[in-house]
């Protein structure tokens, strides 16, 4: 069964074509800078730089590649029986992968305000795929779904109950990634009755406590802005700052949302949201960059302590996503001085996790430390296949 997985961003489209159930990857690639003159389309070893005006144009390029007469991957588009879509926010409605119909699309649209950077782009991908892969079942897999198991004491905010009843609560994000890497960690541990902390560290970042395979608490909440310090997002701040900006400095609510979403985080602290640039600057003695890295790691450590206490212990700490998988410095800073709760990493293994199958645990550690590459597309394909079956 061939399942195409799409992860649509505002100006990008990541895709993988799987042959299920063996999860064999037939095609992997992306279109980026959609809408710009310097758009780039990559599929396996094929790459072209040309204007790609819309997501529809990107999918047409993909279809042309799949049907290429010299080396066709499919004979016609009807071979693709399902298209799995990553959708960031599912609210209280979607707890499982879901076949997409008009009502589902309306609900995704209604949640635009809760994930303004993501849900509109996700819906664009869905509507485009419906047109081009009209014979395929369209399936939505929601980032928030994994977190529906969070207990009420971790889900509620200490505000009047009528707000909770109207849907204001912790939803959590990066659920597809946290679900995938926590399952992989359990395979490495050889059991499922585990206490894990998953750190998804990319331009967006979140920490999740996973207790016995289920999300127990997570750092992102009602929207994907709070929690850890991120590339351009502030993470946790004192709510009073928002009122001060509104009432005393006369910023509008949209101005403040823009500041906290797009102008804060590492970009505000160090002048860049690219951690590679920040690490280079820190190595050259840049004090702003050094401080930014300390604050970044410090915010993560707060959640490690919090979640270890909540779960009354910890079996494994997981680093994943772009920064988590690739930054030796961040992993070192995060693990520093956590030996009192059993966390210690091996400096040599930390330099090359792949060589050690992702296990960078120090020899005296009581807690396993893993670097596990996330694979959201594989997780989406798996959930879509299970739904089709």
Q: Say how far apart CA 82 and CA 85 lie, in whole Å.
A: 10
Q: Residues 143, 161, 255, 359: which is the catalytic one? A: 143
Q: Say how far apart CA 85 and CA 8 lie, in whole Å.
A: 8
Strands 205-211, 195-201: parallel, antiparallel or unpaired by DSSP? antiparallel
217 included as an active-site residue: no
Extract the tokens encoding 347: 């400096």
Burial of 286 (0-12, 13-18, 19+ CB in 10 A): middle
DSSP state letters, 62-114: HHHHHT-SSS-S-SSGGGEEEEEEEES--TTT-SS-EE--HHHHHHHHHTGGG
Q: Say how far apart CA 347 and CA 345 lie, in whole Å.
A: 6
Q: Is 383 left (phi over 0), alpha (psi -120 to 50) or beta?
A: alpha
Extract the tokens encoding 220: 């992102």
Q: Is the dihedral of CA 61, 64, 70, 73 positive or negative?
A: positive
Burial of 103 (0-12, 13-18, 19+ CB in 10 A): exposed
DSSP state letters, 152-168: HHHH--SS-HHHHHTT-
Cβ atoms within 10 Å, residue 99 = 13
CB 74 within 8 A of CB 130: no
Question: What Å distances lie between residue 285 and 40, 265, 290, 316, 335, CA to CA?
Answer: 35, 20, 7, 33, 22
Catalytic residue positions? Answer: 143
């Amino acid at each position: 069964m061939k399942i195409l997985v799409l992860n649509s961003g505002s100006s990008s489209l990541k895709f993988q074509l799987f042959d299920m159930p063996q999860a064999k990857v037939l095609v992997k690639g992306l279109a980026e800078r959609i809408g710009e003159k310097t758009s780039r389309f990559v599929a396996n070893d094929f790459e072209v730089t040309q204007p790609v005006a819309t997501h529809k144009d990107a999918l047409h390029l993909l279809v042309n590649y799949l049907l290429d007469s010299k080396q066709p991957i499919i004979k016609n588009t009807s071979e693709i029986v399902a298209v799995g879509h990553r959708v960031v926010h599912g609210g209280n409605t979607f707890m499982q992968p879901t076949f997409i119909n008009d009502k589902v699309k309306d609900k995704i649209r209604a949640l635009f305000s809760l994930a303004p950077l993501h849900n509109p782009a996700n819906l664009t991908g869905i509507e485009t795929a419906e047109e081009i892969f009209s014979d395929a079942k369209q399936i939505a897999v929601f980032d928030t779904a994994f977190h529906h198991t969070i207990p009420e004491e971790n889900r509620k905010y200490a505000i009047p109950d009528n707000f909770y009843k109207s849907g204001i609560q912790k939803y959590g994000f990066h659920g597809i990634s946290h679900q995938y890497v926590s399952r992989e960690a359990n395979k490495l541990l050889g059991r499922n009755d585990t206490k894990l902390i998953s750190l998804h560290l990319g331009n967006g970042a979140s920490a999740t406590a996973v207790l016995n395979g289920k999300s127990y608490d997570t750092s992102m909440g009602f929207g994907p802005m709070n929690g850890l310090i991120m590339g351009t997002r502030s993470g946790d701040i004192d709510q009073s700052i928002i009122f001060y900006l509104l009432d005393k400095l006369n910023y509008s609510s949209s101005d403040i949302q823009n500041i906290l979403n797009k102008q804060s985080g590492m970009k505000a602290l160090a002048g860049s949201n690219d951690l590679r640039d920040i690490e280079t600057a820190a190595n050259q003695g840049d004090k702003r960059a050094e401080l930014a890295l300390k604050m970044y790691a410090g915010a993560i450590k707060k959640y490690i302590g919090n979640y270890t206490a909540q779960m009354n212990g910890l079996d494994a700490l997981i680093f994943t996503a772009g920064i988590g998988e690739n930054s030796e410095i961040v992993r070192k800073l995060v693990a520093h001085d956590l030996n009192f709760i059993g966390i210690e990493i091996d400096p040599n293994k930390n330099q090359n996790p792949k060589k050690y199958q992702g296990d960078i645990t120090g020899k005296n550690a009581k807690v396993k430390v893993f670097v596990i590459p996330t694979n959201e597309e594989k997780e989406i394909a798996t959930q879509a296949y299970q739904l089709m079956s």
